[in-house]
């Protein structure tokens, strides 16, 4: 029985370690090439950050904005070539820019410091941030925004590890309760 318990415990530890290591690798500091807030066209890259200092002063968001309200959008023009051409930003409500309402617009202009700053008030729903660069060829970057909406994929990913751990512990407890030694021990206590 001790051997079975040791094997089951080792299996649980290995499984938890593998799943935990995979989850840890998916977060934290990542390179620009792996950052989901970066859009690339050829060698040109832009990076979007959204802030809501009235709710969480130090939090930075990308495409999932937790609450509706005043939102500061900051676009970093990573490549020097983008800093030398007119670049503008438009935020539209919805996912189709031709049919949906423009919420905010920053006219194309040259940004030698490489930063475009904008502020807008976003209500709950879907939005699209469109960044256009008037170069040769013209470039266009898009970011879908989800404001104050539940992302069920993230909820599922967050709940999987504790659920697997609970299921494994339940299985281990069941195996322990059904083991012959446990049944013999219970029978000896009854007599």
Regarding whether 97 and 11 lie in a shared domain, the answer is no
Q: How many separate domains does the chain show?
A: 2
Would residue 186 count as lying in a domain?
Answer: no
Phi then psi dihedrals of residue 136, to 5 deg: -115, 110
For residue 8, is it within any domain?
A: yes
Average per-residue pLDDT for the chain = 80
188 within a domain of the structure (yes/no) = no
Contacts of 129 (CB under 8 A, 6+ apart): 48, 73, 89, 90, 91, 142, 143, 145
Structure tokens at 146: 């989800």
- CA atoms of 75 and 11, how far apart (whole Å): 46
Of 147, 5, 131, 121, give the one whose Cα is nearest residue 62: 147
Query: The domain containing residue 177 runs over which residues?
Result: 2-25+155-181
Q: What is the pLDDT of residues 10-64, one digit of tens each?
A: 555 555 555 444 433 333 466 666 788 898 887 888 999 999 999 988 899 988 8
> Token digits for 133?
């660069």
pLDDT exceeds 50 at position 146: yes
Q: Examine the domain organization and report whether 119 and 142 are in the same domain.
A: yes
> Does residue 139 form part of some domain?
yes
pLDDT tier at 183, thresholds 50, 70, 90: confident
How confident is the model over 99-113, as a mean pLDDT? 89
Residue 85 — very low, low, confident or very high, per pLDDT cuts 50/70/90? very high
* 113: in domain: yes
Question: At 41, which CATH number?
Answer: 2.60.40.1930
pLDDT > 90 in the chain, percent: 31
- Whether 17 and 50 map to the same domain: the answer is no
| Shared-domain flag, residues 11 and 43 | no
Does residue 187 fall inside a structural domain? no
> Residue 190: inside a domain, yes or no?
no
């Amino acid at each position: 029985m001790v051997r079975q318990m040791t094997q089951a415990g080792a299996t649980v530890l290995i499984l938890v370690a593998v799943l935990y290591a995979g989850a840890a690798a998916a977060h934290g500091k990542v390179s620009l090439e792996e950052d989901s807030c970066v859009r690339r066209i050829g060698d040109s890259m832009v990076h979007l950050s959204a802030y809501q200092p009235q709710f969480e002063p130090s939090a930075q968001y990308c495409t999932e904005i937790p609450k509706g309200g005043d939102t500061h959008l900051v676009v970093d023009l990573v490549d020097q070539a983008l800093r030398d051409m007119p670049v503008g930003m438009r935020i539209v409500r919805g996912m189709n820019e031709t049919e949906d309402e423009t919420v905010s617009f920053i006219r194309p202009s040259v940004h030698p410091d490489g930063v475009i700053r904008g502020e807008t008030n976003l209500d709950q729903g879907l939005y699209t941030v469109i960044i256009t660069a008037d170069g040769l060829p013209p470039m266009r970057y898009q970011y879908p925004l989800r404001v104050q909406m539940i992302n069920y994929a993230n909820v599922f990913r967050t709940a999987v590890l504790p659920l697997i751990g609970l299921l494994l512990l339940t299985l281990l407890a069941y195996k322990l309760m059904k083991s012959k030694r446990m049944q013999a021990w219970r029978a000896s206590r009854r007599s």
